[in-house]
C-alpha cells in the first residue's frame, strides 16, 4: 500500500492521523476535536480549517513541522542504533 500524500487536498484526516499520529497535537493544541471524531474519514484539513476558522496555509505548515520533527527524531534514533553495533 502506498504512503498517503500530505499535500493531497483530499487526504482524509483519519488517514493523516493513522500515518502521522504526531499531527494530532496541532489539532488538539487548538482544541479541535478532529482526532477521534467519527467524521474524520470524510473531512480533510481544508474542511477542518473552514469549520474552525483557521488560516489553512498556516495550519498546514504547523502540522508539517510536527510531522518533520518525528521523521528527524526517527532518523536520529536509527543512526544511534547503527553506532551502537
- Grid coordinates standing for 46? 481544508
- What is the C-alpha to C-alpha distance for residues 12 and 45, in angstroms, rounded to an integer? 8
- What is the C-alpha to C-alpha distance for residues 42 and 40, in angstroms, rounded to an integer? 5
**What pLDDT does residue 73 have?**
56
Q: How would you write the pLDDT of the chain (85 residues) with one tens digit per residue?
A: 688 999 999 999 999 999 999 999 999 999 999 999 999 999 999 999 999 999 999 999 999 999 988 655 555 556 655 444 4
Cβ neighbours of residue 79 closer than 8 Å, sequence gap 6 or more? none
Structure pTM? Answer: 0.79
Q: What is the DSSP letter of 41?
A: G
Cβ neighbours of residue 15 closer than 8 Å, sequence gap 6 or more? 4, 41
Amino acid at each position: 500500500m502506498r504512503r498517503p500524500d500530505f499535500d493531497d487536498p483530499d487526504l482524509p484526516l483519519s488517514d493523516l492521523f493513522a500515518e502521522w499520529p504526531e499531527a494530532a497535537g496541532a489539532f488538539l493544541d487548538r482544541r479541535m476535536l478532529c482526532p477521534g471524531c467519527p467524521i474524520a474519514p470524510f473531512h480533510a484539513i481544508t474542511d477542518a480549517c473552514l469549520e474552525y476558522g483557521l488560516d489553512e496555509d498556516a495550519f498546514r505548515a504547523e502540522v508539517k513541522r510536527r510531522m518533520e520533527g518525528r521523521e528527524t527524531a526517527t532518523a536520529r534514533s536509527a543512526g544511534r542504533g547503527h553506532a551502537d553495533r
